[in-house]
Amino acid sequence: MSQSAPRSIEHYLRDLRAELQGADPALIQDALYDAEEYLRAEVASHPDKTEADVLELISSTYGAPAEVAAAYRSTEATVAAALATPRRAPAPSALGRFFGIYADSRAWTSLFYALLALPVGIFYFTVAVTGLSMSAGFAVLVIGIPFFLLFIGFTRILALAEGRIVEGLLGVRMPRRPRSPPSEATLFGRIKAMLSDPRTWTTLLYMLVMLPLGICYFTGTVVLTALACAFILAPVALLAGFPVMVFDGTYNLSWLGSTVLTIVGILLLTLFLHLIRAIGAFHGQIAKRLLVSRESE
């Protein structure tokens, strides 16, 4: 616990940030937002007292920065344990671990995210390009600056929504609260802080790169899944009389060949699930780097 109570909200947040050093950046962003929102509400509700007096009282009720940090770390560990997918006993063999991917829920949620990435990427790209283009076009008009600021605010809302999707499907901890509003009292100071925040521009970058990433994820997923399923169903197609493989106008695929294709298809699908799980984890780290505030680090 701090030796003396913080004398200002900025001082309290600085101490809380220091106490949370080393924690997940998304957790720190949530903690700072919650603390600042509570502190400012308490100060506003006691107009007859100075900010220092209110903070001294808060330190004994809400908690000193060290106590709040410890509570957030404990709660985070509890929530993470409750939401984590059940751990399966490791397979005794390499073959068991290889085919165990079918029982891994994270592989399937990553597969769903890969399919979702294309429409989401198109939407993000359209919003980013349209917003930037209209902001540039309106720059010579009175509404230019307000429109641009509203556009930036909307991208922050989208970033928070994308974080919830990423955390739910890819399992990467993302913020559950928006970024703390800048502490500057003036409107100009808040605007300046927002525009100087690197996350404002990395969020736009994320929205732009989601289109090419979404195309790659979606195309690869559809092509490889369809190819694997076609191989696996080769005996069914042969039994039903459908063309399976044609060489020089004749059907040269035998039952043995169709069985081999089925085995190849199963191996291909299994490898793809391993790959898509790794891609999901990789994309989650991209989202974390571009969408999560690093001011707390």
More confident call, 149 vs 247: 149
Q: How far apart are CA 241 and CA 258, in angstroms?
A: 13
Query: Which segment of 91-105, 191-205, 235-249, 283-297 scores lowest on mean pLDDT?
Result: 235-249
Segments making up each domain of the chain, as ranges: 9-83, 92-297
pLDDT band at 297 (very low <50, low <70, confident <90, very high): very low
State pTM to two decimals.
Answer: 0.81
pLDDT band at 46 (very low <50, low <70, confident <90, very high): confident
Query: Looking at the predicted structure, is the pLDDT value of residue 284 above 80?
Result: yes
**pLDDT value, residue 79:** 72
**pLDDT value, residue 248:** 53
